[in-house]
């Protein structure tokens, strides 16, 4: 045991400002998504990104079954959608996806990455899914939704 309290670590990591994403995938039983900020660039050549999913997360097995995932970087006006995919269901978001390269993605997102899983890495209580980027779509005018200290925010315009 490391002596580090998991809640203290979570709170400390929460002081690092991040963007907010919806990670999504498609399986035989439909489209699935969840809000996450555990996303990062890994390599430019080849083009790789990674997401980190808790072992207890339902989406983990969906991504594993699909072999693909998309990351939609939310724009500063999408706080409600972020909450919807974080488990606070909002009927206004019952049909939240459009399709890009055969994957469900959030329309109006600041940026969208569509990937094919290249590697899985077990890391403690999470699985890292390293994805080879096969498509990118960007809105050069969009400001990203930010999250820090348990609160949403946006970049100053």
Q: pLDDT of the chain along its 157 residues, tens only?
A: 568 888 888 888 777 788 999 999 999 999 999 999 889 999 999 999 999 999 999 999 999 999 999 999 999 999 999 999 998 988 888 888 999 999 999 999 999 999 999 999 999 999 999 999 999 999 999 999 999 888 888 887 7
Tell me the pTM: 0.92
Top CATH class of 6-154 equals mainly beta
- Predicted confidence at residue 10, as pLDDT, reads 80
Residue 39 CB burial class (10 angstroms; 0-12, 13-18, ≥19): middle
Residue with tokens 């929460």: 14
């Amino acid at each position: 045991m490391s002596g580090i309290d998991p809640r203290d670590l979570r709170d400390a990591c929460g002081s690092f400002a991040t963007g907010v994403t919806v990670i999504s995938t498609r399986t035989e039983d439909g489209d699935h998504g969840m809000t996450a900020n555990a996303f990062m660039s890994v390599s430019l050549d080849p083009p790789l990104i990674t997401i980190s999913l808790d072992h207890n997360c339902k989406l983990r097995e969906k991504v594993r079954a699909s072999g693909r995932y998309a990351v939609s970087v939310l724009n500063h006006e999408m706080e409600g959608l972020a909450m919807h995919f974080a488990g606070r269901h909002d009927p206004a978001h019952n049909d939240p996806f459009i399709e890009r390269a055969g994957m469900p993605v959030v329309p109006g997102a600041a940026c969208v990455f569509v990937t094919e899983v290249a590697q899985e890495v077990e890391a403690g209580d999470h699985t890292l899914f390293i994805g080879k980027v096969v498509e990118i779509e960007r809105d050069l005018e969009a400001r990203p939704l930010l999250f820090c200290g348990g609160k949403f925010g946006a970049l100053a315009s």
